[in-house]
Amino acid sequence: MYVVIYAAPARSNGFVFAIALTQHGDHEVFDTQNNASFVLSGKGDLDGVSFVNPPLGGTWTQQHLASAIKRIEEQPRFANPVKDLLAAYALSDCASYSDR
């Protein structure tokens, strides 16, 4: 699954995240596998996507993230108020790969 967060309504730059959903016992875990900041330039090797801070994983990862950004651009927008995002979900937990 890919999630794109645009920095502004113009949708010209933002952040992209690659997220994997896994099952651990009776819990679903959303695991962020990669992230990168990007700018849409309208030109370039990656469908007009330039990475400000390239993701780990090299060209293959960049191509997949750029492709996801372009597909997401064509989808309807969803906006969530910040106050809704700040409210913790009772069954949620955050962890880092470095916690393991």
How many angstroms separate the Cα of 11 from the Cα of each of 21, 37, 66, 87, 96? 26, 13, 14, 26, 29
What integer best gives the mean pLDDT of the chain? 82
Per-domain residue ranges of the chain: 2-95
Put the strands of the sheet holding 2-6 in their side by side order: 2-6, 13-24, 27-40, 49-53
Residue 89 pLDDT greater than 70, yes or no: no
- pLDDT of 66 reads 92
How many angstroms separate the Cα of 43 from the Cα of each of 18, 50, 51? 23, 9, 12
Structure confidence by residue, pLDDT tens digits, 1-11:
898 988 888 88
- pLDDT of 83 reads 80
CA 84/CA 51 separation, integer angstroms: 29
Q: What is the pTM for the complete model shown?
A: 0.76
pLDDT band at 30 (very low <50, low <70, confident <90, very high): confident
Structure confidence by residue, pLDDT tens digits, 34-87:
889 999 987 766 778 999 888 888 889 999 999 999 988 888 887 777 787 777
Evaluate whether 51 touches 62 at the Cβ level (below 8 Å).
yes
